[in-house]
Amino acid sequence: MQNYELNEAQLTEIFEEQIAANFRLAVVETSPTLAMVAAQPGAGKTRTVEDAREAHNGAVAIVGDNFRRFHPSYETLMENGPLHMPEATAQASGRWVEMSLNWLRRKHRSLVIETTMRHPQANEYTLTQFRDSGYRTEVTIVATPPQLSLMGTLIRYVGQVESQGEGRWVGAAAHDEAVEQLPRTLADQISKGNIDHVTVIDRAGETLYDTDVNAANRSAATSPALQAIRQGQRFDAIPPDQQQQWADDCSHIEQFLHEHPGQTKLRDVYAGVAASAH
């Protein structure tokens, strides 16, 4: 594949002229907040990111996917190979996320970021960088049954194949690793004093746990937070609308597999996630 990586001069020019210009409207605060929204792929973090942004007086939402359009080859990629666009723009969008975090931290602007918490060292680095700069750090966990989130990645893949002829596959291993790692990362960062407030919500947005965290209650805060995550991840407790969506998604995938018998990888993953729901 063609090399779409940009050099540092190109990255900096685009960031300063096109991306940072959008941040200058953000409100400067004497006590800024870093709000981190965490969940595995397919869990539905987008709405929670927007809620957090509004809760913090229009804080800047840093979502790497939103930076891809600034790549000089974006329109060409979307026209000729949309499914290859994420890989082609990954280097640039990742670097622009780093630049954005540094810019906002220096300017003391509140911000919201997404994470799977699959890479604990990266999360710790971000949290400590902002806390050391005077930020309040808040983490919201979107506790979603793994069956629903993995199904979400499969449905997205099927939709891409149906509309574009091919799809961007998200491996079940990366999804499952995020499910397993998230509570460990959360507990570790609470114990290290890197989180000032933790909230756990379910997929529907209902609050399962919410508390400030300080030196006196770090140990006491961890256990109920992890219990709330387990509660939100229970597939047998999903509400009727999610049950109906699950049934619709199963029917959709089964029909797709009937029409595309060569999709063996999808068939295997779907069989596993469907079986785990019983």
Per residue of the chain (278 residues), what is the pLDDT tens digit?
A: 588 999 999 999 999 999 998 887 767 778 999 999 999 999 989 899 999 999 988 799 999 889 999 999 999 988 887 778 888 999 999 999 999 999 999 999 999 999 999 999 999 999 999 999 999 999 999 999 999 999 999 999 999 899 888 787 777 898 999 999 999 999 999 999 999 999 999 999 999 999 999 999 998 999 999 999 999 999 999 999 999 999 999 999 999 999 999 999 999 999 999 998 87
pLDDT in tens, 66-87: 999 999 999 998 888 777 888 8
**What was the pLDDT predicted at 168?**
78
129 DSSP β-pair partners: none
CB proximity list for 40: less than 8 A, separation 6 or greater: 116, 118, 144, 146, 149, 175, 178, 179, 182
CB of 41 within 8 A of CB of 114? no
- Domains located in the chain, CATH noted: 31-59+110-276 (3.40.50.300)
CB proximity list for 65: less than 8 A, separation 6 or greater: 86, 93
Q: What is the pTM of this model?
A: 0.90
**What was the pLDDT predicted at 52?**
93
**If you compute the radius of gyration of the chain from its CA atoms, what whole number of angstroms results?**
20
**What was the pLDDT predicted at 1?**
58
Structure letter (DSSP) for residue 28: B
CB of 129 within 8 A of CB of 113? no
